[in-house]
Structure 1
Amino acid sequence: MTRTATRPAGSRASADRLARLLNLVPYLLARPGIEIAEAAGDLGVSERQLREDLELLWVCGLPGYGPGDLIDMAFDGDRVTITYDAGIDRPLRLTPDEALALVVALRMLVETPGVANREAVERALAKIENAAGDLVGAPVAVQLAGDTERAETLRATVERGRALRITYYTAARDETTERTIDPLRMLSVGGRAYVEAWCRRAEAVRMFRADRIDAVTELDEPAVVPPQARAHDLTGGVFRPAPDLPLITLRIGRGERWITEYYPCERVEAGEGDRWLVSLRVTDLGWARRFVLGLGPEVTVVAPAELAEQVRAQAVAALDAYASPAPASPEPAPAP
């Protein structure tokens, strides 16, 4: 994979810890009574990290998770011994349903944009499919939400490391623009496929939704990402509220409370009756105007005044359009 497949440090740390935990029980079973300092040296971690791993292992085990199902161990000073391994020393035997579930999960992982070490996942999938036998032919198709033909084309282009020229629709401003981008990675967030790239037009890293890219052309030149470009931390979602973005305040009814769960809000306060006051950051007031108009009559703009006026003006224009009679259709000419 190219640099576009690099994982965040947190993801690498989690993957490293998972691998260490999977190896830790067999390691300790083969060395009963080993000193924690010696084990930490063999595993290449600090004593503190090893103790944290052992505490985590203590609450791991077989489904049911009662006292007789969890991994257990005994400490004698600075020495540790596994006293119950929860069956981790036995070869894994999958039932047909478990094997099929694992095959489906790995197929989905292969289709996920931005997955690092795709080749390793494909090798593991091939081995399990070979062991599963006839289950491989089960009528199961895996496709992620938002994973369209356009997303697949983008994924292949990103992996080749080429620059792209795209025609992109920006919903926040309701406009279509031409851009040349240098992709960093493909990823899936909230069931939608995105390409994260250095945008030469904006001179910054931007996220582009695959289903809003109306046209894409792969250029002959390689993607060149400036040294200052950094991939975004998307643990909180694609939209990242910033203090310099417009802050709007709405008075909402019970039917619109879903807003507080779907959008990052800075303030939510109970108002009169069942009304709530909700404040949130938006990309611009144009998007906010369309957002409010789509919510219905139980929403009132409290601030800013500019947004309230925009909503009022567009609502009045819409009502005027409905009030105006449609032009009469011309009568057909008489037959000769």
Structure 2
Amino acid sequence: MNRTARLYALVEELRAVAPRPVTVAALAARFEVSTRTVQRDLQALMATGVPVRTAPGRGGGWSIDPEMTLPPVRFTPEEASALAVALAATGATAPYAGAARTAAQKIAASMTGAASVAAQELATRIVALPAPSDATVRTAVEQALTTSTALRLSYTDAAGRESDRVVEPAGLLTADGRWYLIAWCHTRQAGRGFRLDRITAAAPTTEPAHPHDLTELLRGSAAAGAVRPATLASLAPARVTS
């Protein structure tokens, strides 16, 4: 069993008995490797964000939070290739790029067989030109969206005009490889779009953001025809119609 397959199997072994802990010695015997190898694998899982933890002393060992992990997922080679392309398109300037990177590590650790080979092969054939990234701005935007709080930002528009504003984030728009924050602007008292790479500074506030309908904010703008990407349909709640 190669290391990638063993990492995946370790997670499933811990899930099977959760929340009870398992000793390193028991895991080493189960996978017929040394205790040192198991210890190194468990530390690697922890480093990539897998919710494994250790408890010392009598009755202790390694365990996992089953509510924080996914059940076994089997990808076809085509699905694995699609994931590789999608993750490559999530550049450093995209919202939640850091979370996408750790998600990619978890997905890679779960893939075995033909799917793993297909993803690895395609990954060696994708390159990207690096783009400047302001992690502080991106993190502030992510936090404001996640916590539904107002955001204070400095912005430079297409004409080079600079302004400071307080906005209430409503959502994100992606178009032609660029990302825009769609928000209710306190200054304009209207919906506005702010290109993320033109936000020169951003800081979350403690002021709660009022709920705003994304479609309504886009109405009358060049992005009025924007629709939810089909790939996200399974993540969004279904609308109830009467």
The TM-score normalised by the length of structure 2 is: 0.43
Look at both structures and tell me which one has the larger radius of gyration over its CA atoms.
1
Q: Which structure has the higher relative contact order (CA within 8 Å, separation 6+)?
A: 2
